[in-house]
Structure 1
Amino acid sequence: MDVLMLSRLQFAAATAFHFIFVPLTLGLSVVIACMETAYVRTGKEVYRRMAKFWGKIFLVNFALGVVTGITLEFQFGTNWAGYSAYVGDIFGSLLAIEATAAFFLESTFIGVWHFGWNRLSPKAHMVSAWLVAIASNLSAIWILIANGFMQHPVGYVIRNGRAELEDFTAVITNLFAWHEFMHNVFGALAVAGFLVMGVSAWHLYRKNEVDFFKKSFRFSATLALVASLAVAIQGHAHGNHVAEVQPAKLAAMESHWETSTYAPMYLLQIPGEDGNKLEALPVPGLLSFLAFNDPSAEVIGLNDIPEDERPPVVLTFFAFRGMVGIGTLLIAVSAFAWLMRNRIENFPWFLKVLPFLIPLPYLAMQLGWIVAEVGRQPWIVYGLMKTSDAVSKVTAGQVGFSFITMCAIYTLLGIAGICLMIRFARKGPEPEA
């Protein structure tokens, strides 16, 4: 393999591993803050115990997210020096703001939250929990504004052979970035909802701490349903924007080759990279309607996009359908859980299945990012800089060695962290005082 492919694989592996922990940090921080708020409002000890129990899992998850996130940022210098030199004036400023304005705030108040149970008043402790939740999601905003620039560059000017920041307001109000943020936040809440619901179901099936976990289950079932529906609704709006500013990505998502109005969507379809594909059961105008909310709208096909600017079709196509399929299943599962939330113990088969569904929202989010990043290729900054021009001038051996080393270390970290979270989840909450 050449340096470009190895660098792509290394960055993809580092990003995918880091993103295992990001959604739960975003979503579970909000869940814990809500539980603490319930404790302050009602004075019921069970809500305090819930915040402490789910907080243990959150802390392990957060620690792994921090470790993998820091090393990930270094790859912009080690593997993608050309990118850093060309757009560092824009991208670097956003990462700097994320670190100083959000990450430090989050890290500080996590310490206050963890060590302040017996040192702060309940209200002050609740405030620290909300500050952690706000800072976590604020951090995501700046990261996704940076990624939004890569997806749809705005607010820059080409000067001295590089892209330089010209309009900071345009960068931070980039609609693509805010679509990404909302899509990821709703997805993260679904991740948290399914984790809390799955762990609660595991204990309810074994009749452990029934009152504690029934309350957790009812709360998480509502959260999972609302978040899953919000992901689908917001995802449609995000897709409309993708169709407008990234027509090549939309064409790859649907393996759409011929530019046409009343563009059909095929219920049965197997794509190909060269335009050869199997199609059956067309629904006329459906693709035009989904892309532009107008069945007569024109949808650009891949044949009207230069061959060297087309994204990989097969991977983008199947990743998109996997994401949508899993999202649909999550809506159905969370709807059943919400409808039966007050008598869920009457469905032991469902309680037995739910823990095995915890990975599904994680998988849906990973597939979504494959669509976002692979569907943007061959551009590292869409329409502005190709990925092949962004790679560092290093040897394949250097990248290969660091790639193997990184995968080995991350595997050990992942096994240790996930086993620790499973151990805390199975142990259950601390006994009542």
Structure 2
Amino acid sequence: MSAETLARWQFGITTVYHFFFVPITIALSMLVAILQTIWVRTGNEKFLRLTKFFGKLFLINFAMGVVTGIVQEFQFGMNWSEYSRFVGDIFGAPLALEALLAFFLESVFLGLWIFGWDKLPKKVHLLTIWLAAIGTMISSIFILAANSWMQNPVGAHFNAANDRAEMTSLLDVLTNPVALVTLPHVLATAYLTAGGLVLGVAGWHLAKLGKPDTEQQEKDASAYRWATKFGAWVLLGAGAFTLITGDIQGKIMTEVQPMKMAAAEALWETEQPASFSLFTIGTLDGSQEVFSIKVPYVLSFLATGDVNGKVYGINDLVKKMETEGFTNSNLELQKQAADRLAKVGVTDWVPNLPVTYWSFRLMMGLGFLAMAIAAWVLWVTRKGGLPKPGAAWTALMFAAPLAPLFGNSFGWIFTEMGRQPFIVFGVLPTMSAVSPGVSAFEVGLTMVLYTVIYGALAVVEVGLLMHYIKLGLPDVVEPQVLTDEDAPLTFAY
């Protein structure tokens, strides 16, 4: 394989692995803040126990997310130096803001939260977890602004003398229409995942506990029951918001990246009205479909908001790209870089259809599965009902967090693969963005090393999570603020 292919594989492996931790970090931090707020307001011990319990799971996940996230930035210099040279002035700005503002906010106040249980007044300590949670969301704003710019490169122009893209408006980059809809969509899927985690862990313990026989078991059951329903409602609410934002995102995607929508549906020919494909088989060269199962009018509504709207097919879009490229684009950068793009000689304008088609469906299917599990759990636990322990219930509790977690990953695979053959859509082809001085052997070697290390980290992560999940709710003592200034800091976990 070429250095470009290996570099793409390496970035894909490390990115997907890192994103396993991102949605849990973003949303679970806020859910822990909510649990601690309820404890501060009510004084009910079970909410302190839930705060400590899920707070420990959050910290394990946060630490692993930080470690794996650092590697992402290394790769821009290792394997993608030409990309960094060409768009570094633009792409680097939101990343710098994320590090300077968001990461410092979340890391500093998370440290205060960890060590401040017996050092800070109760309400001040509560404020630290809220600020840390807010920091994680601010971080997502800048990261998604950077990625959305790659999908829709606004606020920039092409400097032919330096052969580089340069920023003309940071405000345009941060208010990119793609970013404005991607942010709430990603945040919603994060809460979908974290809600599933709370539901799955608490629901598993609730079934294992069974009917309480002692006062302590009664306390545990009360906490687990509350957390199970809380997680289910968070999952369902986030799922509904995911559907709404996903619908808006699909329409904007059709507007700025029509080829991505066509690839998502394996739509070879333009249709008006267009049908949503439930299952499609195409020819080996991808030029036409052989067999398909479709639902009439649905794709037109998803793509345009009109059940009779026109959706352009792959073949017509390829012809347009081959004849005019991006010379008539509404974006200044795409229009100015059209001559440079023509010299590169893009020969394949179509993304990998099996990947885009099936990742799009797996993304949606796993999200719907998680919502169905949450609805079923609420039904089973209504009016004080208890779930029946067994393999089926355990499988559902594992699926509750894993379904949205993998759905998130498939969504990002679709987003990035659907942009191909571009790394910056309509401006910079992926094949032109790799480091020119790096060989396939060098990229392959680092890819193997990263994969092995990440595999070891996965074993550690899963082992730690399962260990503390199995331990269940901790015994707690009301935190007391120490008055001795020389007393050592204590680690509450």
Length-normalised TM-score, structure 2: 0.85
- Separation (CA, whole Å) in 2 of partners of 1:44 and 1:284: 53
Instruction: Render the CA deviation track for 1:57-111: whole Å, top value 9, x for unaligned.
Output: 1111001100110111110111100110000001111111000100011111111
Q: What's the counterpart of residue 345 of structure 1?
A: 386
Instruction: Render the CA deviation track for 1:260-293: whole Å, top value 9, x for unaligned.
Output: 3212234442245522433344433322122111
Instruction: Render the CA deviation track for 1:158-182: whole Å, top value 9, x for unaligned.
Output: 1131110101111100110122211
Q: What's the counterpart of residue 252 of structure 2?
A: 241
Shift of residue 295, structure 1, vs aligned partner: 2.1
Q: What's the counterpart of residue 425 of structure 2?
A: 382
Instruction: Render the CA deviation track for 1:159-215: whole Å, top value 9, x for unaligned.
Output: 131110101111100110122211111111111111111111121112162122112
Does 1:290 pair with 2:302? Answer: yes
Mean Cα displacement is larger for which, 346-355 or 257-266?
A: 346-355
Residues 72-151 of structure 1 mapped to structure 2, 5 A cutoff: 72-151=72-151
- Separation (CA, whole Å) in 2 of partners of 1:271 and 1:335: 36
Q: In structure 2, do the counterparts of structure 1 residues 155 and 46 end up closer, same or farther at CA, with 3 Å as the change threshold?
A: same
- Separation (CA, whole Å) in 1 of partners of 2:171 and 2:126: 33
Length-normalised TM-score, structure 1: 0.97
Does 1:264 pair with 2:266? Answer: no
SS at match of 1:269: strand
Does 1:356 pair with 2:398? Answer: yes
- Separation (CA, whole Å) in 2 of partners of 1:25 and 1:267: 33
- Separation (CA, whole Å) in 1 of partners of 2:276 and 2:229: 38
Q: In structure 2, do the counterparts of structure 1 residues 105 and 432 end up closer, same or farther at CA, with 3 Å as the change threshold?
A: closer
SS at match of 1:345: coil
Q: What's the counterpart of residue 274 of structure 1?
A: 286
CA contact (8 A) 1:21 1:64 kept: yes
SS at match of 2:356: helix
Q: What's the counterpart of residue 65 of structure 1?
A: 65
SS at match of 1:270: strand
Shift of residue 432, structure 1, vs aligned partner: 4.1
CA contact (8 A) 1:232 1:327 kept: no
Out of 434, 444, 451, the residue aligned to residue 407 of structure 1 is: 451
Identical amino acids, percent of aligned pairs: 41
Out of 327, 332, 335, the residue aligned to residue 367 of structure 2 is: 327
SS at match of 1:296: coil
- Separation (CA, whole Å) in 2 of partners of 1:189 and 1:429: 22
Out of 401, 416, 420, the residue aligned to residue 373 of structure 1 is: 416
User: Partner amino acid for 2:206?
Assistant: L
Q: What's the counterpart of residue 299 of structure 1?
A: 311
SS at match of 2:119: coil
Q: In structure 2, do the counterparts of structure 1 residues 428 and 310 end up closer, same or farther at CA, with 3 Å as the change threshold?
A: same
SS at match of 1:263: coil
Q: In structure 2, do the counterparts of structure 1 residues 355 and 40 end up closer, same or farther at CA, with 3 Å as the change threshold?
A: same
Unaligned residue ranges in structure 1 (runs of 5+)? none
CA contact (8 A) 1:7 1:391 kept: yes
Q: In structure 2, do the counterparts of structure 1 residues 332 and 90 end up closer, same or farther at CA, with 3 Å as the change threshold?
A: same
User: Partner amino acid for 2:426?
Assistant: G
CA contact (8 A) 2:387 2:393 kept: no
Unaligned residue ranges in structure 2 (runs of 5+)? 210-216, 319-346, 478-493
SS at match of 1:397: helix
Q: What's the counterpart of residue 470 of structure 2?
A: 426
Out of 177, 192, 210, the residue aligned to residue 190 of structure 1 is: 192
Q: What's the counterpart of residue 204 of structure 2?
A: 202
Q: In structure 2, do the counterparts of structure 1 residues 15 and 280 end up closer, same or farther at CA, with 3 Å as the change threshold?
A: closer
CA contact (8 A) 2:207 2:388 kept: no
- Separation (CA, whole Å) in 2 of partners of 1:218 and 1:126: 23
Shift of residue 353, structure 1, vs aligned partner: 3.1
Give the length in aligned residue pairs.
433
Q: What's the counterpart of residue 4 of structure 1?
A: 4
Shift of residue 324, structure 1, vs aligned partner: 1.2
- Separation (CA, whole Å) in 2 of partners of 1:107 and 1:266: 45
Mean Cα displacement is larger for which, 112-121 or 205-214?
A: 205-214
- Separation (CA, whole Å) in 1 of partners of 2:193 and 2:282: 30
Cα RMSD of the aligned pairs, angstroms, is 1.5
More helix by share: 1
Q: What's the counterpart of residue 434 of structure 2?
A: 391
- Separation (CA, whole Å) in 1 of partners of 2:144 and 2:292: 37
Out of 225, 228, 244, the residue aligned to residue 236 of structure 2 is: 225
Shift of residue 326, structure 1, vs aligned partner: 1.2
Over alpha carbons, which structure has the higher Rg? 2
- Separation (CA, whole Å) in 1 of partners of 2:277 and 2:58: 42
- Separation (CA, whole Å) in 2 of partners of 1:266 and 1:180: 24
CA contact (8 A) 1:271 1:313 kept: no
